[in-house]
A and B are shown apart, each in its own frame.
Chain A
Amino acid sequence: MAVAYIVLPLLVFLVNTFLAALVVKSDWSSFQNRVFTAFLIAMGLWGFAIFGMRSSPDLSLAFQWEKAALVAIAFTSVLFCHFSLCFTNSRLSPWVLRSFYGVAILVGVLSLMGAVATGMQRTFFGYTLVLGPAFPLYLAVAYVPVLTAVLLLHVAQRRSRVVEEKDRMGYMILGAVMSLLGGTSDILPALGVRMYPLGIVTNIAFGLLTTVAITRYHLLGLRLVLRRGFAYSLVSTIVFAIYGLTFVLFLAMFRSQTTMALAAASVAAFLLVAILLPPAVGRVQRFVDRLFFRERYDHLMALQGFAQEARDISDLAGLAASLTRTVTLAMQADWVVILLPNAQSGDFVVTPPGSEGGGTSPGISVKGNSSLAKWLARNESILRIQDLDGDPYLQAIGDSQRHSLVSSGAQLLLPMKSKGELTGILVLGHRLVDEDYSQADIQLLTTVTSQAATVIENSRLYGLEMARLQEMEELAKLKSTLLRTVSHELKSPVTAIKASIDLLSDSQGGLDARQTTRLVRVLRSGVSRLERLVEESLDYTQMQSRQLELRLGPADIGKVVDEVVGLVEPSIRVKGQRIRVEVPEGLPMLLVDFQRIERILLNLLSNANKFTPSGGEIRVRLQREGSHIVIEVSDNGPGIPEEDQKHLFSEYYRGSNSDGQRNAGTGLGLAIAKYLVEMHGGKIGVRSKLGEGTTFSFTLPIVLASGPESSS
């Protein structure tokens, strides 16, 4: 004990000197670090002075060393306060710090004059002070600056929104409090309290904790460290208690035996304990783990469960739900969602839609080509929501994206990667307990997501493959339907053409002009119908394979209407119908595919002509509505039943006529018209009432082919 009493202060000196060198090496140019170095040096000098005092052979020499130690403590305290002021960048009146230094200098002088302590006295452990009249002033300078520092650190810790920063300040506060307690234990013997001075030990811890806090950025959460320490201590205490108890018991039982027998019995006892203890210790450890690390225990159990469920990759929705459930329980999060890339847009959206991992999950998404997605793809680390403002790359995130994340309460975003590609994003809301996610939580989440990423990506790819297979099957079906329909439609015109040609051939010029004209008309009609069929089929094929391209150019829509009306006029005249065209003056030029717009109009007018009875009226009207041109084709035919209206624009849909028979045609015309209108950025629709007629209308946006230059 005497050796430790003397040597420990020397350890303080050596440790603090070493720490000072460490801080100097890390960043000497920082003023804050220079102040901290001064603090460590003062602490080291105090340790050396205490060593001198404790190793002194007499009271007189011990008193000289003690005076030096008192001076050192005064400055240590003030330097720590000064350092805390710099570290937290707090605002304190400069006179406060000046007065601390002033009092420290005064106390130093008084100490050297022998006013703080008037001498030394012997105690059971060594030497202690005899208090002098200026001792209260010494107490003030020893305690007040440190308490001020603790307050500054505490305030800064509360205000900080950065977890790592909070942890660092927490370590410093702990060190300062330990130092205060240790310092108090040094003073109490002078007041007559019989206790061993622990200031040396606590000051070693103080220096170590504070140095670690300012030189290392990512620290274990303090609570976790304390819990682990306490848990370890508890297990160790239980083990040592068992060994100790065993020893005492055997000693009591075999006291009367010879030394050899006693020794043999002791060894046997320890061996027995050593054999029986490990399983018991294991149980104790598990009990302590569950007591102190309940959530970690639950994490591991949940992970096991997820691993089981992850074997089936055919159910992506189930996998995603399982993962969110696992993470929600393990992290005690308010909500957890997984964002997976949408096949069409590439944006990351909640999968499955409406999945809930706990509380109400928000409808958030991340654009696939956004800087947020790129950042997550490039970085391995998680993203805390407060980093959105702090990271220079993420400051470009749009307001709506940022707002949707912040307002949803998202706290963490974790990238899920497979083969280096971003395949998903795990998003967590607040914790239900009022705590931030710790480093340990982050580590666990990182492990979970890296495992889950591969599984979910495989499941997603599996789903895509199945969807692709299904699409191919549907395409094959559509192809055969198309072939069937086209072949069926081809029959009539081909038959008519063939019959007309046979008649012409057989007649050998014996037909009159009227008959010839009639045959030529049949031929022409048949060829037109064939031509339309071929065009429709080509358009449809291109539509299906998304290869249809518009050839845009400026067009006068009024002229397009006139041309198409000219094409259908003969058919209209044949049925005795009337056609009215209303095109206002001054309509702007549009940027459109002329031929395709013509085809759309031709389709609508042909249908109007076909389904309006003889003598009926067809009207074509154009008007400007805001930034669009609206084109309407109306007729006063029988109208379309409401049931049919829903399917009008579907592929292969052919309504029935009044006799209940299916209308002629491929059923592709309106589907193609809709596709073409939408490709132009417009919309198509129908209004119809039975007995009152039908109006088809479509819009085209007004997009100028070229505009005027701005004036200088």
Chain B
Amino acid sequence: MSRTSPSEVPAAPAPGVGALGTRDPKLVWKKYCGFLDLSLRDFMDIQSELLMEQIDLVHASPLGRHLLRGTAPKSVSEFRSNVPLTTYGGYVPFLSLGNDGILGEKPAVWAHTTGAQAGFKWVPYSRRGLERLLDNLMAAFILAAASRREDVRVWPGDTVLYNAPERPYLSGLATFGMAERFGFRGVLDAEVSESLDFKERVRQGFRAALGKRVDLIVSMTSVLVKVGEEFAEKSRQSRLDPSHLGPLALSRLGKAFVKRHLLRGEVLPRDLWPAKAIVGWGVDTPFFRDKVRHYWGKLPFEMYACTEGGLMGMQTQEKEGLVFNPYADFFEFIPMDESLRSREDDRYRPRTVLLDEVEPGKSYEVVITNFYGMAFIRYRVGHFVQFLPTKGDGTSSRLPQAAFLGRADDRIDLAGFTRLDEKTVWEALNLTDLKYEDWTVRKEFEADTPILHMYTELRGDHQQRELEELLHEKLKKVDPFYSDLEALLGIRPLRVTRLPSGTFDRFYDERRKGGYELGRLKPPRINASDDDIADLMKVAGRAQ
């Protein structure tokens, strides 16, 4: 049930000028994307100022008193040394439905996201927190469409094709918020879109977009790739049925066919939905960049976001590393070795560093403290990032840039020897050129021996043995520690179960009928639960 309504999203001046206040691209760039030009010192100043304000806002609230232990730290160092790190478990007694009085002011909206176990993680958003999220998203839209500095191509009134979960997922809130604050119109009416199932929303969204100008596409990268592949397949087989297409769509199709007939012989989505920018998300985004560009004509623009932290970082207009946004949260980073040690020993308190202390090439776990009177303080989000080597020219930003590595709980520890994560599996899969529908991998035991069991639905004919061999070799190639398992221990832990065609779709349908929330309509890619696997196998027509 949605706990929000459009009226709860902060209203803004009428679209046209909207919250922008100006039509000058230079000023708009400065306002939304100017953080890229900050020096590291300025970045840290901003972080410090907002943190002190946050402490001021929450220290007297029930949740704040609990987290800050009745104190109000007067400096960043006092805050970091006196306030312990937290995880969601510590917030559960406070962040529950209807508990509006836990923070200084009543939240403007409550967002949720799927928790590790069944149920939701609820996250209250203050008015300012929501406004900041929307402003950061505006920055992302601008950067996504820009090819250079001050190149502002998105404006209030632009049309956006959203393939995103509905409210109160954060993306759903953002959809409504962007409409109200900046006048961005969805291809589908927002209320209608929300009433649809996710798959149907995607389908109808693309269909509606055929007859309209679409300026931006905001979608999970995997959806874009899937739509692109299906579309290309249908066009190659001339299975596109133009009877349901309107005049604009037909004219685009006509132009596309003429163009493709002379050049390539296949119609691609970019011919029918030429957008100024594509905003994609998902751990798999880096692997599908080229595919997305091929099908959609643009590189997907990546953002770094989560419900607890909002929109924390984004690429620059050059679409390379992620730059942290200083207004989103106060950022600390736990060095990887400290993080691993703390996960092995509950009592160990890992040290953290700030952005001006991170080292290029090293990996860190992200810790955030919300601003604007929101709830999370020194919160371990459970994400890992790696900071990229610094570029000398600083053309896009002087701030450190990072790459998202994965989630802490999306890692499989095999024999204490190697930790495989979702990104590694994606890398290996990409190298195989297998055509897969979907997959999930988890650690299981075979006569007390740990194995890596992949359940996958593929297209094409492959023998079981051949599949295992192929994947095993690719995993060895991308992860040297995995390679050592065989070289040093003689272990080949990979098992592959090939699922019949349509298994994941049927799983989705069954879960939907069972009333599961969106996050549970597919098994997680890494470490699916026994229930998820059991249901998957049931749907696949086999007993485990």
Q: Mark A364-403, 1 if CB is under 8 A from B, else 0.
A: 0000001100100000000000100111110111111000
B49 touches A390 (CB 8 A): no
B49 touches A371 (CB 8 A): yes
Q: Complex Cα distance A89/B37, Å?
A: 25
Q: Contact partner of B87 among A370, A386, A710, CB < 8 A?
A: A710
Q: Complex Cα distance A88/B156, Å?
A: 12
Per the 8 Å Cβ criterion, residues 1-19 of B in contact with A are: 16-17
A390 touches B27 (CB 8 A): yes
Q: Complex Cα distance A396/B67, Å?
A: 23
Q: Mark B14-26, 1 if CB is under 8 A from A, else 0.
A: 0011000111101
Interface-lining segment among B28-36, B268-276, B385-393, B458-466: B28-36
Q: Is B313 an interface residue (CB 8 A)?
A: no
Closest Cβ of chain A to B79, distance in Å, is 14
Closest Cβ of chain A to B472, distance in Å, is 34
B89 touches A710 (CB 8 A): yes
Q: Is A165 an interface residue (CB 8 A)?
A: yes
Q: Is B265 an interface residue (CB 8 A)?
A: no
A399 touches B53 (CB 8 A): yes
Q: Complex Cα distance A307/B65, Å?
A: 54
Interface-lining segment among B38-46, B224-232, B300-308, B439-447: B38-46
Q: Is A514 an interface residue (CB 8 A)?
A: no
Q: Is B148 an interface residue (CB 8 A)?
A: yes
A374 touches B84 (CB 8 A): no
B23 touches A89 (CB 8 A): yes
Q: Mark A77-102, 1 if CB is under 8 A from B, else 0.
A: 00000000001111100000000000
Q: Which residue of A lies closest to B14 (CB)?
A: A159
A392 and B70 in contact (CB under 8 A), knowing A370-B49, A709-B84?
Answer: no
B157 touches A91 (CB 8 A): yes
Q: Which residue of A lies closest to B15 (CB)?
A: A91
Q: Is B326 an interface residue (CB 8 A)?
A: yes
Q: Is A679 an interface residue (CB 8 A)?
A: no
Instruction: Classify chain B's interface size.
Output: 35 or more
Q: Complex Cα distance A649/B31, Å?
A: 54
Q: Is B85 an interface residue (CB 8 A)?
A: yes
A162 touches B84 (CB 8 A): no
B34 touches A156 (CB 8 A): no
A704 touches B46 (CB 8 A): no
Closest Cβ of chain A to B154, distance in Å, is 10
A712 touches B38 (CB 8 A): no
Q: Which residue of B lies closest to A29 (CB)?
A: B148
Interface centre among B23, B46, B347 (most CB of A within 10 A): B23
B23 touches A712 (CB 8 A): no
Q: Mark A674-712, 1 if CB is under 8 A from B, else 0.
A: 000000000000000000000000000111100101111
B49 touches A392 (CB 8 A): no
Q: Which residue of A lies closest to B347 (CB)?
A: A709
A396 touches B49 (CB 8 A): yes
A165 and B23 in contact (CB under 8 A), knowing A159-B16, A704-B69?
Answer: yes
Closest Cβ of chain B to A579, distance in Å, is 32
Closest Cβ of chain A to B158, distance in Å, is 10
A160 and B23 in contact (CB under 8 A), knowing A391-B34, A396-B327, A710-B85?
Answer: yes
Closest Cβ of chain B to A369, distance in Å, is 8
Q: Is A627 an interface residue (CB 8 A)?
A: yes
Tell me which residues across on chain B come within 8 A of A712, comparing CB atoms.
87, 89, 346
Q: Is B161 an interface residue (CB 8 A)?
A: no
Q: Which residue of A lies closest to B13 (CB)?
A: A159
Closest Cβ of chain A to B408, distance in Å, is 11
Tell me which residues across on chain A come within 8 A of B326, comparing CB atoms.
396
Q: Which residue of A lies closest to B148 (CB)?
A: A29
6 A-B residue pairs with Cβ-Cβ distance under 8 Å, sorted by A, are A160-B23, A161-B22, A395-B327, A396-B46, A398-B50, A399-B128
Q: Top 4 closest A-B pairs, CB basis?
A: A392-B34, A710-B90, A396-B46, A398-B53
Which residue numbers of B lie inside 8 Å of A, CB to CB? Answer: 16-17, 21-24, 26-27, 30-31, 34-35, 37-38, 42, 45-46, 49-50, 53, 56, 65, 67, 69-71, 84-87, 89-90, 128, 148, 155, 157, 326-327, 346-347, 349, 372
Other A-B pairs beyond A161-B21, A396-B50, A702-B70, 7, CB < 8 Å: A88-B23, A90-B23, A160-B21, A160-B24, A390-B27, A400-B53, A710-B86
